[in-house]
Amino acid sequence: MNNINKYIDFYESKLKEAAFYANKKEMGFVRSTMKESVEGLLDLIWTTETNGTSKKNDFIDCHSKSGCKLKFQVDRHLYLNNELLSIGECKAYLDRCFMERASSDFGRIIRGLETRPVSFILALEDAVGKDAYTFYMDEGNIDHVFYLCDGKRSPLKPIWKQKFYKPINENKLEDFIKFIHTNLIINDTK
């Protein structure tokens, strides 16, 4: 876990960037910066820990029962040695509609591939009710959900505002890194 500070520094820099844009009343940039805080963090963790490739816009052909083809992708497709090991959604906060869409897209991608990748959601904050969380996990398309910050999300208390700041919980970050090493890298070497 030598790289924990590197990952936390990245997160902290993105919160400062979001606050900077908020002070300029550029809320579109705040949203895109918070999105990048999770997607960029995943990219940084994956490439640092595995020397693998994290791809976005990596569309996978999926076919319906009647043969219609559509292409699907999620935020990140994680490769090691040119093999797709995992698919991940990244959210500044995970709410019910985001979890529903992730489950649906994961399911289509999983059905479109010969080898099932591990699916996960990486989020900073939790905004999903208990029943909704259980419902979507029961569908079987989402293997893991990781929340890096403690407590429930409040839209009135954005974490990029200093008075509502939430640090990354280092134990939760370490759990995610262990997940990468035990569920993805080790399985790839078998």
Domain boundaries, the chain: 4-188
| Residue pLDDT, tens place only, 77-103 | 999 999 999 999 999 999 999 999 999
How many CB atoms within 10 Å of residue 36? Answer: 17
CA-nearest of 78, 83, 137, 76 to 115 is 83
CA angle 135, 140, 141 (to 5 degrees): 105
What is the C-alpha separation between 30 and 19, in angstroms, rounded? Answer: 7
Q: What is the separation of C-alpha 66 from the centre of its chain, rounded to a whole number of angstroms?
A: 32
Contact 73, 117 (CB under 8 A): no
Q: Domain 4-188 - what CATH class?
A: alpha beta
- Name 136's Cβ contacts closer than 8 Å, sequence gap at least 6: 99, 100, 102, 103, 142
| Residue pLDDT, tens place only, 58-73 | 999 998 889 999 999 9
Please say if the pLDDT value at position 125 is more than 80.
Answer: yes
| Residue pLDDT, tens place only, 133-190 | 999 999 999 999 999 999 999 988 999 999 999 999 999 999 999 999 987 765 544 4
